[in-house]
Amino acid sequence: MLARAWKWIAAASAVAQIASAALPDVDLDDNDSIAAVAKIVAQDMMSFYPPYGGSAPGWTIGILPGPPPEPSVKGQYFWWQAGAMWGTLLDYRHQTGDDSFDQWITQAMLAQVGEQLDFNPRNWSLSMGNDDQAPPEDQPQWLALAQGTLHSQMNMNRRIDPNANTPCAWGLRWQVFSGNTGYDYINTISNGCFMNMAVRVGRYTGNSSYYEWAEKTYDFMRGLKYISDDYQVFDGAHEPHQCRDINNLTFSYNAAIVLQSAAYMYNVTDGAEKWKREIDGILNRTIISFFGDTGVPLERNCELVAEEGCNTDMRSFKGYLHRWLASTMKMAPYTEPTIMPLLRSSLRAALKTCTGGANGRMCGFHWREGRFIAGPGKADDVPGVSEQMNVLGALLSVMRTESVRPPLTNATGGTSGGDYNAGTNGDYDPYDRFRPVTTADRAGAGVATAVFVGVFAGMMAWLNWDQMRGGGAGLFPVT
């Protein structure tokens, strides 16, 4: 148990009634009340997706307007941010049971699966990063898509040569294609999302070999000091500099993806001391770095930089922070007394910003201000997908965990089909790369059924279903 007394915990213990000038009152002790407001925020978020609520001839299904011509331009979005939006809606579907967005989610996800079923479509190759990546029966199933994405990142073509004489060896690159800027950047979010997918697919299928990949990835980041001795989570470093030129900027989504992944490892190892220690360290540092003694998050490496401000990417980080903190509580329940007061106090502040836009209820980004800051400047609030997604994630995060079922596994009712060849592109066999494949391996992999691991990134949206079925044994030993 983390022992830290915050000024706002006493206030958070009271029955919480939240009023906004534009949104209905929210009772934080009533899941139905939270869900009702969450639906309004979700609808406002979807208003930025052109096909929603009207025709959009020629629109590429599943993506948002963009990409930005430059990082500082608001209102335009990279491919991964659409994935993040669908991931948030998947969480909404899971938390509330509301299926009104199902057609949009399914259509969008299947339209972007890519030629190799690995969420790496050719039309986005110029900006495709490793951090980017329930349908009808005649369409690719969720586990197969999750496996396709995960297996493609197991391919050593995506990684630094494991035999290279460098501390970067084996690390997953940021960019997929060698011609892209950032191909030599070995960053936390790409490796963190890979770890996240590996442990979640392993948990779903019961295949412990995936845990080896997850643990090796975490140990790799710790060894490079991307996760420091005092549990600061830094952004990454470059291969030409032996991964020693660490970018010391800290962002909440990096800390949150690593924390959630450690919580899954805690869950699948029956509360191993190693993972409790790592959870405690990362969680305590995340509170200090991003919440401080206010109980409201701040992206300090952009919100406090007046000239540059927060770009479109950074303006979405608070939503991931809340969703992944909530997931941490489910996987490591002992953290709930520490995390839940944070989420509730943060949501109170967030809802006070939901008074902007043409409809008078769009939400802002600067939650510590407690209001929507109208104006043309970079530091001001501009209605957009990220801001709505943040508040929607915050609303979902405070729904009581005992009222929301944890992610399914193959032993608790999942039904989706897997594919052990998914993501291999036909040019390598992940089994042969590491050890001979047995008949039992192939049989087990062939009948594996499903989890939808979604997004990440990171936001890969498909990291969030976890509702399907899986099985398998002894796959992909780590080298």
Segment 48-96, tens digit of pLDDT: 999 997 768 888 888 898 876 654 455 688 878 998 999 999 999 989 9
Residue 298 pLDDT > 70: yes
Question: Which span out of 93-97, 133-137, 138-142 was modeled with the highest average pLDDT?
Answer: 93-97
| Contact present, 106 and 135 (Cβ < 8 Å) | yes
For residue 123, what pLDDT is reported?
53
E-strand spans in 83-178?
Answer: none
| Contact present, 234 and 218 (Cβ < 8 Å) | no
pLDDT in tens, 249-270: 999 999 999 999 999 999 999 9
| Contact present, 72 and 308 (Cβ < 8 Å) | yes
CA-CA distances (angstroms) from residue 258 to 76, 166, 180, 196, 227?
Answer: 27, 23, 25, 8, 9
Q: Which has the closest alpha carbon to 288: 337, 352, 342?
A: 342
Fold category of 9-464 in CATH = Glycosyltransferase (1.50.10)
| Contact present, 182 and 129 (Cβ < 8 Å) | yes
Q: C-alpha angle 406/411/413, rounded to 5°?
A: 65
Residue 274 pLDDT > 60: yes
For residue 459, what pLDDT is reported?
33
| Measured distance CA(468)–CA(415) in Å, rounded | 5
In this structure, are strands 17-18 and 26-27 parallel, antiparallel, or unpaired? antiparallel
- Tell me which amino acid residue 129 is: G
Confidence of residue 301 (pLDDT cuts 50, 70, 90): very high
pLDDT in tens, 392-439: 999 999 998 665 666 777 666 554 555 545 545 555 444 343 333 333
Query: pTM of the predicted model, to two decimals?
Result: 0.81
Q: Who wins on pLDDT, 461 or 229?
A: 229
| Measured distance CA(310)–CA(316) in Å, rounded | 10
The pair of structure tokens assigned to 128 is: 């495709």
Domain chopping of the chain, boundaries: 9-464
The mean-pLDDT minimum among 178-187, 231-240, 436-445 falls in 436-445
Share of the chain above pLDDT 90, in %: 53
For residue 178, what pLDDT is reported?
82
Q: How many Å separate Cα 250 from the centre of its chain?
A: 16
The pair of structure tokens assigned to 264 is: 């899954």
